[in-house]
Structure formats: structure tokens, C-alpha cells
Chains A and B, each alone.
Chain A
Amino acid sequence: MSLLGDTYTLFTREMLIFKKNIRVSVVRSLIFPIVFILLLGSFGSSPKNVPVALVNYDGSIASLNFINALQLGNNINVASYTTQQQAMSLLAQGSVAAVIVIPPGFNSDPGSTPTVYVYLDNSQPQSASVVSSVVSKVASEGINNGPTSPVSDPSPGSISVVSDYAYGAGSNYESFVVGGIIIMVAAFGSMFGSGFTVLSDRELGNLKAFLTAPINKYSVLLSKIAYGTVQSAFSAYTALVIGLLIGATIAAGLVGFLELLWVIFLVGLGFGSLSVALASRTKQLQTYALVAQTVTMPMSFLAGAFVPVTLLPGFLQPLATFNPLTYAVNATRDIMIKGSLPLSILISTTIILIAFTCVMVAIAALFFKNTSEQL
């Protein structure tokens, strides 16, 4: 029997326990993303009749058609103003969530791309995302006179306008957040699957039983990582399905869906290894839970899982470069929002996460050597 054979035996053991507790796992996998979704306050509450100030400097038929189209579905409530200054002051007060400006000459030159300017109040992200998605949708349909493209501009003063590509054409805020959540759920799922069971096995004395069996002790580590990856994938795939049901979309379609499954798997593998590395030196379950959270939470935020990295404090931004989750989150944005994941990025993301896994497995193996002496 080999390292792999023993690993497989121990893995089947974990899976038998997993199967026995499948109901708990399902509930946890459902609760986890739902709680995060509620915490982030973006789902199930897409506001209706969002107040929007509109300034139409053009007045052409096309522009009027555009405005009518915006109002279909009652997602936004458009009020017209004559000057941009007037509209912007309402935005500053927070009485409208966005200002839409149709510049003069909106439809004058059939050869050029018509442009509208949207100023979003991102202190009201839900409303802003509704406006953003409505405008994008209407713009992409190209009213009467071919395609139009909305452009978001930075605005002066206390209100900054979100200019992240998350709000580009064909996207919605749900897709943005779900992309972050599935990666975070994958990371947390592994933390609870791999490292957690190392700790509980240590407490129960199972670890001693494994280490006194005629097996390669590294098979214990590998089986835990394998199990954590399964647990993580289970949770994150559930989260993805919930996200899709709630309204997130995958711009890259079926291929994108498969790519997401792959990226989630890699994150589970990497964080399973990280969690085993952490667990190999930790003796108490409470300590482990604390350490696991203090590692995973900041890493998720630094990766831009919920807020674009560009909105993080400046001194934190360079850290994102060294965070493997950043690449996973960026990949989900490419897949879910931009519409395609370039092959080169798929490969580089895979390499980065596999490298992360290898480093963590090495660290875990190094530390685990010593823990066999202190069960």
C-alpha cells in the first residue's frame, strides 16, 4: 500500500462521516451563503421606483425614446430637470440615487456612438446598482438609432461615482457580490472541512490511532486536504446556485460556469492546505477557529470579494497582489461580468493557486512532523 492508497482509505472514512451528516452539511451550506448575502444586504431587496434626476440637453426623438425605455418596469422613477447643476445638488442631498445626463448631440451623428453620463450615489449601493443595470440594459438595446453606451464619470465633492467595471455593460450588482461570496465560501468551507477535522480528530484521539497505524503519516494530511476540498466545493457550489437563483448571471455562459467550478475547486484545495498547515500546530479547537477566521476574513476583503480593491485604503492595496484569493476573485469577475476568461488568465490563476497549495502542503508537512510527538 502506498501513500495514495492510505490517503484514499482515510478519505473514504471522511466521506462516510460526511454522508452520515449530510443533512447538517446541506443546512450549513445553505446557511453560510445566505447569511453572507443578508449581511451584505444586496439581495432580495432590489428597490423599486428608485428616484433619478434626468437632464436632457438633446431633446431628440431618440433621447425621448431612451427615457421612456428607462421607465419601463418601474425600476426607476425619472424626474426631469433643466440644468445639470440642479440635478447634481439633489444627488448631493441624497434625494436621488443617480443623475443621468443626455448630452447635446446625443443622436446627431449616426456614425459615432451616442453617449449618456451617469452619476451614481454609491452611498446607496443597492439603488445605484438598480439604476446602473437599468441604464446598461436599455443602452445595450440601442433605442431606435443603434447602440448607445453609458459612461460613468467621477464627480467632484463628497459623492464619488463608482467607475469600477463591475458596473459595465451586461452586469449587475448580484453578479459582483456572488462572485466574491462563492470564493469566500470556498475558502471558509475548506477551513471547516480540513483543519477543523484535524483538530477534532486530535481531541478524540483518532489522530493517535492513525499515527500508530502502519501508514505514511502524510496520508493523514492529504486525506484531510482532499476532504476539505470536497466540503468546500459542496458549500461553494451551493452558494453559486443560490446566487444564480437570486439573480446573479454568468456572462460567460456554460463555459463560464465550468470555469467557476474549476476556480472554486482550486480555492478549496489551496485553503484546505492552508488550514491543515494552521491545524498541524494548533491543539485547541477554539484557538484554531480564531486563527482560521483572522486569516480568512481579511484575505477575502483584501481580494476584493465584496468591495473593489480600488476602494480599499491605499496602503492595503499592494497586499492584494500577494493574496492568492485576489486572482480567484478577479477570475470570477471576468467570468460573471466581463463575459470571458482569457486562457492566459485561466492558466495563471491555476498556476498561482496550485503553487499556493504546494507551499502550504510543504509547511503542513514540516509542522506535522513535530505534532506527532505531542498528541
Chain B
Amino acid sequence: MSEYAIQIENLVKKFGDLTAVNNVSLNIKSGEIFGLLGPNGAGKSTTINMILGLLTPTSGRVLVDGVNMQQHPEKARQEIGIVTQETVVEPELTAAQNLMIFGKLYHIPASELKKSVDFALDLADLNSFKDAYAGTFSGGMKRRLETAKALMHTPKVLLLDEPTTGLDIQNRTKIWGLLRKINKEQNVTILMTTQYLEEADQLANRIGIIDHGRLIALGTPAELRQKIGMSTLIEASADKDDLPKVAQAFKKAGLEPQVPSNKVVAPNTGKAVDKLEKLMRLLSESKVVVHNISMHEPTIDDVFLKLTGSEVRDQTGEDTSRTRVLMGRR
């Protein structure tokens, strides 16, 4: 096994005159859980598609377990398990049939196939449903089946594209447990993208943030928090129309507010309690209705906001639509 599970070297992808991925280099160590974050249209999906060999890079290269994806796609893919954004289990097949077919596609020898299917069913905790059609499964069951399907050929790398989007908290926790387990027990390297930053915070050993096609931050969650130099944060939520007024109060209190979608956030500098007190007074004088005001440790959400100027969710920037249009034309 090579030292790095995935090596990305000077990766560039251009669609016409739009540079979707701009000279990204990134090494993902064997055995780590890596979270790749970025607003929609930032170049995250384009990067993932190049890692999967679905897109040809304009320049640069991707190595999976030391194998060049562009030169030997079939060999490189043998080492990757993939869980995509769309849940890809065939509803017209049973759980066992779904696993069987993919086991064959990943060239598991016929003699070991049954064992692999059972292993995957165990992993997904779906043993009692093995002959039930996947179409009858709940979203969480499908997702577990899919994750187990991606692991049955014992790949070195598991790539998850937003693995828990749309799942309730119970199923999300189950998936998290599954991921931690296979990472620890089988030393599977995990590369995941997510829009739930707390997910990255909880699971990932290291996080990379992509924006405008560039890798703008890389490090452990703790390092990233440190890097942006925030001790605590003051956050206030109010009706959308009132937000400018709230922001105004923040400024008067000597804070530097940022206004993402539905709240005002400012890093606290200096004596926290003084600033907060002053802010409270100003807010009550301006007679604006504030739903909630809090002071907390910075989360990856805050790091993200500080670095990209936007929230990771509900973001439909200009770049998104442009990338889509350009990709659609090919």
C-alpha cells in the first residue's frame, strides 16, 4: 500500500473559458478520513468526477493508491468504492441481488462472492431483508445498502459524495458509525464531501475547503479554527428585514459583522462580555426584534463563512449555473 491513498497533482479543469478547478494539489493519506467542503459550484463535484475518472483533467493527474486514473482507469477504480449523491440501488432487485451484481462488476471471484455479499449485508445491518426488493426500503436502508455495496470488494478508498444528505438524524448517526467502523477496522481511507459541516467536524481527521476552483484551506478541524484566529463568536438571528439594523448595531458595538442568509455573525475580539453587553443595549435601543443571540466557540461553519464569504448550504452562485450550462453542452 502506498503512503497516499489519493494523490492529486496540479489538477486543472477548464470548461471553455471557465476554470472550474484551478491547480489543486492534495494528498490524502492512507487510513485517514478526509472531508472536502465547498459551496455549490466551487469545483468540488468537478474534482470528485476527475478522481473517479469520469472527467478528463485539462492538466494535472490523479493517482489512486499510486495508480494513474487517466492511464489505467480500470485498475485504479478497483481500489475505490463509491457512494454517490443519488442513491443508486436498483429498486427492482433484492438487496442480495444488488450486491451480487456489483460484486461481479468489481470482479470478486465467484468462490468468494457469497461471502462478500453476506459481509456487506452484515455491515449494512440488512441481513433479515436480503431477499426484499430494494424498492421497498426506506431512504436510510437504501443508503446503508449502497455504502455496504461500495465496500464489498474491500477497496482501499471509499469515496462518499454527500453520504447523509436527506437522511434523518438516526440514520445519519448509523452511517457515521458505519464509516468510523470500517475506517478503524479495515483501515479504509475515506474521502467525503458534505454540506453538513458538523459531519466533517465530527468525522474528518482533515478538512480541505475548495472555493472558486482553488483549495483555500487545508488542515485538521482544530487547525482551521485556529487559522482564522477566532476565539469566540457572537451570533444574532432576526427577521430578514431587520438584519441590516442588527448589523448596524454590531458595527456600533465595535464588531465586524457578516450577514449570511438569516443571521448576523461577528468574531469577538477583545473582552467578550463588554462587547456583548454593549451590543444588547444598542439592540434594545434600536427596538429591533432579535429572536436569539448567542456567543459560542467557532464551528467549521464559521470557518467556512469566514473563508468563502458564504454558507455552504442554499448557495446558488453565478458560478454554479455557469458550470452547469457549460457542462451540459459537452
Contacts and interface: CB of A to CB of B under 8 A. Distances in A.
B26 to A, nearest CB: 20
Nearest to A8: B104
A209 B93 CA distance: 15
Contacts of A12: 101
Nearest to A374: B330
A375 B101 contact: no
B84 interface: yes
Interface stretch (B73-81, B237-245, B295-303): B73-81
B77 A214 contact: yes
Contacts of A17: 90, 92-93
B55 interface: yes
Interface string A1-43: 1000010011011001100110000000000000000000000
A213 B77 contact: yes
A21 B80 CA distance: 32
A206 interface: yes
A372 interface: yes
A213 B328 CA distance: 23
Contact of A209 (B84, B97, B104): B84
B88 A208 contact: yes
B86 to A, nearest CB: 3
A209 B328 CA distance: 20
Contacts of A13: 90, 93, 97, 101
Contact of A215 (B52, B74, B133, B330): B74
Contact of B54 (A6, A16, A372): A372
Interface in B188-209: none
B1 interface: no
A16 B93 contact: yes
B56 interface: yes
B54 A212 contact: yes
Contact of B97 (A16, A214, A370): A16
A373 interface: yes
A16 B52 CA distance: 28
Interface string B219-261: 0000000000000000000000000000000000000000000
Nearest to A21: B92
A147 interface: no
Nearest to B93: A16
A305 B93 CA distance: 38
A206 B104 CA distance: 15
Given A16-B93, A206-B88, A212-B53, A10 B82 contact: no
A7 to B, nearest CB: 11
Contact of A213 (B75, B92, B106): B106
Contacts of A206: 88, 90
Interface residues of B, number: 32
A208 B84 contact: yes
A370 B54 contact: no
Contact of B55 (A16, A205, A214, A373): A373
B107 A374 contact: no
B169 interface: no
A9 B105 contact: yes
A212 B104 contact: no
Interface in B80-130: 80, 82, 84-88, 90, 92-93, 97, 101-102, 104-107
A10 B55 contact: no
A370 B106 CA distance: 23
A363 interface: no
A214 B52 contact: no
A134 to B, nearest CB: 51
A289 interface: no
Contacts of B56: 373
Contacts of B293: none
Contacts of B55: 373
Nearest to A210: B105
Task: Output the residue of B55, B74, B105, B106 with the most chain A CB within 10 A.
Answer: B105
B74 A214 contact: yes
Contacts of A372: 54
A290 interface: no
A71 interface: no
A77 interface: no
A367 to B, nearest CB: 12
B216 interface: no
B289 interface: no
A20 B133 CA distance: 10
B18 interface: no
B54 A373 contact: yes
A198 to B, nearest CB: 14
Given A9-B105, A21-B92, A205-B85, 7 more contacts: A204-B88, A204-B90, A206-B88, A209-B102, A212-B77, A212-B82, A373-B55
8 contacts: A1-B107, A9-B105, A13-B97, A16-B101, A204-B90, A206-B88, A212-B52, A214-B76
Closest 9 CB pairs of A and B: A205-B86, A214-B77, A9-B104, A214-B78, A205-B88, A213-B105, A17-B92, A214-B74, A209-B88
